[in-house]
Amino acid sequence: MNRDIKIAVIGLGYVGLPLARLFATQFSVVGFDINVPRVEALQSGMDSTLEVDAVTLQKVLVQKSSTEKGLYCTSLIADIANCNYFIVTVPTPVDKNNRPDLTPLFKSSETVGSVLKKGDVVIYESTVYPGVTEEECVPVLEKVSGLKFNVDFFAGYSPERINPGDKEHTVEKILKITSGSTPEIGQKVNELYQSVIIAGTHLAPSIKVAEAAKVIENSQRDINIAFVNELAKIFNLLDIDTAAVLKAAGTKWNFLPFKPGLVGGHCIGVDPYYLAQKAQEKGYHPEIILAGRRLNDSMGEYVASQVVKLMIKKGVTINGANLLMLGITFKENCPDVRNTKIVDVIKALEDYGIQVTIFDPWANPSEVEHEYGLKMVNKAPNNTFDAVVLGVAHAEFLDLDINSLRKNCSVLYDVKGVLTEGVDGKL
């Protein structure tokens, strides 16, 4: 069976690489990406996202595509021509107006369509709104390949559940939803994933059900976080410790343990817009989903305003003050800066005339400058600051002597609520 299956994984980012590595333990896998430097680095055994360590990656790498199990990374379309399963793992972002941008999906579908053959199966893992696979991607596959859907080729959908930086809940340890464009293909897709996912699989009755399940997973988290963010704003006005309230309420057996925070990253801050877009196309305006998004998207400015108020109370002159931002990635112990809301805090602080120094031992300075136009450092600065904001709870920051970075009347604000001493304010 393994010799008959040859898999192409389209997109070798946070989702695609761990999946390609896992499948390569059982099958012949070709990892395809248009980012040539990324492909060259991976083929040499180095993953800049740190999702797959060098030793693990090098164990599965092969120097050329073959029928034997292993992973070969390439940026040449010709190298995926002999594959019969194509798994698309490209990002699905939103544009500046928070509208779904399906461009990466369309481009990757064109790539797959150019080599698609009779009997092939195309599986999408990218987060989408219900209907995208069959109504948006399949027509591209048909047009480019000249083949007929569910006659000549087939489709499946198995949404990714990758948690960047999480070394405990890795891809093989997370239960996988699967689906297919026909009952028979659904079974084949399910069996394919069952062969490597030790946590098991759940075969959904249709592709649209699987698409909908994925998009509501993160929408649910977004709404719950929005609720506790609103509670944090209220309790701050009432001079009540939000963390203490949540700890007390958490003693009830069915209380959900969510914490306030900045909601960024590639999923939670993006996926709800995909569901909202589809609902609006059908004439329904989603109230709760978009209200949660508005509140969470406002938290960057809220944090900045709280920091400025504390600085004023301590007699710090705001215009021209210098502030140290600890962390810029979207979450702790991870180099991922996609859709990080720390940037919103920084921009708002700069609007007050504050000079912000960014220190993050995990982030790539060139990537941060390219994506956000911000300069940063990977080592702690030697000078002191009028304010220090802990934006990301990297392990390095928990061991950092933060007081050595503070002036006598400086402010220490803890966005993550993890510091125990000297904190003037927290979310």
Residue 75 DSSP one-character state:
S
Q: Of the residues 73, 137, 267, 334, which is catalytic?
A: 267
Sorted by sequence, the CB contacts under 8 Å of residue 274 that are 6+ apart come out as 92, 94, 100, 127, 128, 129, 215
**Which pair of structure tokens corresponds to residue 152?**
């000549």
For residue 56, what is the enclosing H or E element?
A: helix 54-60
Query: CA-CA distance, 415 to 425, in Å (whole number)?
Result: 8
CB 271 within 8 A of CB 292: no
Query: CA-CA distance, 112 to 93, in Å (whole number)?
Result: 20
Query: CA-CA distance, 240 to 244, in Å (whole number)?
Result: 8
Q: Is 336 exposed, middle or buried (0-12, 13-18, 19+ CB in 10 A)?
A: buried
CB 141 within 8 A of CB 116: yes
Q: In terms of Cα–Cα distance, which of 235, 185, 245, 237 is closest to 210?
A: 185
Query: CA-CA distance, 63 to 49, in Å (whole number)?
Result: 22
* Alpha-carbon distances of 264 from 218, 221, 329, 339, 376, rounded to whole Å: 11, 12, 9, 5, 19
267 is catalytic: yes
* Alpha-carbon distances of 201 from 1, 5, 183, 196, 219, rounded to whole Å: 19, 19, 15, 10, 22
Three-point CA angle 58, 64, 67, nearest 5°: 100
Query: CA-CA distance, 242 to 234, in Å (whole number)?
Result: 9
Active-site positions?
267
